[in-house]
Amino acid sequence: MLLSVMLLGMKNGLNSANRYLAGYFFSTSLYCISIYIFLFSNSATLVAVFFSSIPSIYYLIGPLSYFYVRSIVRDYSKLSFLDYLHFLIFFLIFMGSLPFLFSSWSNKLLVAENLISGNLFFTKFHTNVIIPKQLNQFLRPFHTIFYGILNWYLISDLWKKAPLYGNKTQYLLIRKWLFALICLITIASIAYLLGLYNMLSTQNKRVFQQSSGVYFFIIVLSYSLINLSLFLFPRIMYGLPLERQNSATGGSSSLLKAKTVPAIEDEEQIVESTPDEKQPFLFLFTESYLAAIQLELEKCKTELRYLDPAFKLDTLFLDSGIPLHHWTFFFNEIKKQSFIEWKNSERIAFALKLISEGFLDDHTFKSLGVKCGFTTQSTFIRVFKLYTGKNPSDFFKTN
């Protein structure tokens, strides 16, 4: 759940597929917590709170995972009118649970006590006035299988279109991540279906707890690996190029347009003039777009903006209008170095230029570091030695 909040808080997260990924993590986390409390908690209060409103959340997990994968594969994250039909089952079950949700607290506690007693599917209480319990039980496995098939179709479609992608590095990163994500989701879904079948067979909570430990472990391990992969490879969250609308996906205008990057307009003209049958399914960091980013970077170098002590990756985003996650992907995957590495290398190159021009004849090493944008002398010495193999004074003596 914390990861979902982090995803939404990231720059451009609300305008990209990250919002679907954040919603997926939030829904799965909340649902898993409710299932854990439902099966293992002896607190009537907790069971009453979670059981009264959470079960409908399950029907958000499939659509959100599908929209996330589709947004990346098609590079377009907006929803059409028909896309909202994917949330129909969630809406029906949520609306059907409202009477129980607004019922008296004593009624909720009574239902909770029955659950704690071990009766998984009692018939005395009705918690949904629209969807019967039996139909809800059968809907879940079909819902899971349906969205699993949709996700695998999307990744297979991406696999088939490999020859159409010019930027192989970017394409492979996207494909590996989506393949791993869908595999883990599928494994968790299969474990869930087996656990659900076991629960329907036993009809007893204590027996179910004893016989379903393996299923719980697989589900927790799968979701943990998904979370861990995002922490180990954070560029997955902000390095994928999203929201690039073009004629192939039906978009009308690009969100990447910026006054300082006129080359993007040229790119759109090229896209529109290309015959439809020859267009790739989506355009990921085309050569003209990469040239536009490189041009903006060269402009930054010419104006020596990297010498400003406050110069950060955000500065490039604010000055150029090019999204932050596009800059991150450009440095990590195209230039094969982080933004910090690029900035420090440019600063040290400038320091070497000043040394060769006699700057140290009238200035101190500390002044040299300040001139090159370093806020402390220790940082300047450490970075200088990292790139030259010597500290500034030794380098000056030997050169």
User: Each residue's pLDDT tens digit in the chain (399 positions)?
Assistant: 777 777 666 554 445 677 888 888 888 888 888 878 877 778 888 888 877 667 788 899 999 999 999 988 877 778 888 999 999 999 998 888 888 888 888 888 887 787 777 655 554 666 778 887 778 777 888 888 899 999 999 999 888 877 776 667 777 878 888 898 999 999 988 888 888 787 777 666 677 777 777 888 888 888 888 888 877 766 666 555 544 433 333 333 333 333 333 333 333 333 333 333 333 334 456 778 788 889 999 999 999 999 999 998 888 888 888 877 788 878 887 888 888 999 999 999 999 999 988 888 888 989 999 999 998 989 999 999 999 888 888 888 887
Q: Could you tell me the CA-to-CA distances from 369 to 259, 304, 360 in Å, in that order?
A: 34, 15, 11
- CA 385 to chain CA centroid, Å, is 37
- Every domain of the chain and the residues it spans: 2-238, 263-398
SS3 helix, strand, coil % of the chain, rounded to 5?
Answer: 75, 0, 25
pLDDT tens digits, one per residue of 45-79: 888 887 766 778 889 999 999 999 998 887 777 88
Q: What is the pLDDT of residue 280?
A: 39
Residue length of the chain: 399
Q: Residue 49 carries which side chain, given as an amino acid letter?
A: V
Q: Dig out the tokens for 64 from the structure.
A: 């959100």
| Alpha-carbon span 382 to 43, nearest angstrom | 56
- Predicted confidence at residue 263, as pLDDT, reads 36
pTM above 0.85, yes or no: no
pLDDT at 86: 94
- Per DSSP, 357 falls in state T
Question: Exposure of 329 by Cβ count < 10 A (0-12 exposed, 13-18 middle, 19+ buried)?
Answer: buried
Using alpha carbons, select from 257, 322, 73, 319 the residue that is nearest to residue 179: 73
2-238 and 263-398: identical CATH topology: no
* CATH number assigned to the domain covering 2-238: 1.20.1070
Nearest one of 61, 233, 25, 220 to 147, comparing CA atoms: 61
Cα separation, 158 vs 146, in Å, equals 19
Tokens of 309: 């002590």
pLDDT of residue 153: 93
Q: What is the dihedral of CA 244, 249, 251, 256, to 10 degrees?
A: 10
Domain 263-398 has CATH 3.40.50.12280: no
Determine how many CB atoms are found less than 10 A away from the CB of residue 244: 22
CA distance 37 to 16: 33
CA pair distance 111, 98, nearest whole angstrom? 15
Distance, in Å, from the CA atom of 16 to the CA atom of 34, rounded to the nearest integer, reads 28
pLDDT tens column, 254-286: 333 333 333 333 333 333 333 333 333 344 567
Q: What is the token pair recorded at 295?
A: 């041009």
pLDDT at 337: 87
**Buried-exposed string 269-303: b where 16+ CB fall within 10 A, e elsewhere:** eebeeeeeeeebbbbbbbebbbebbeebbeebeee
| 146-186 pLDDT per residue, tens | 999 999 999 998 888 777 766 677 778 788 888 989 999 99
> pLDDT at position 234, please?
66
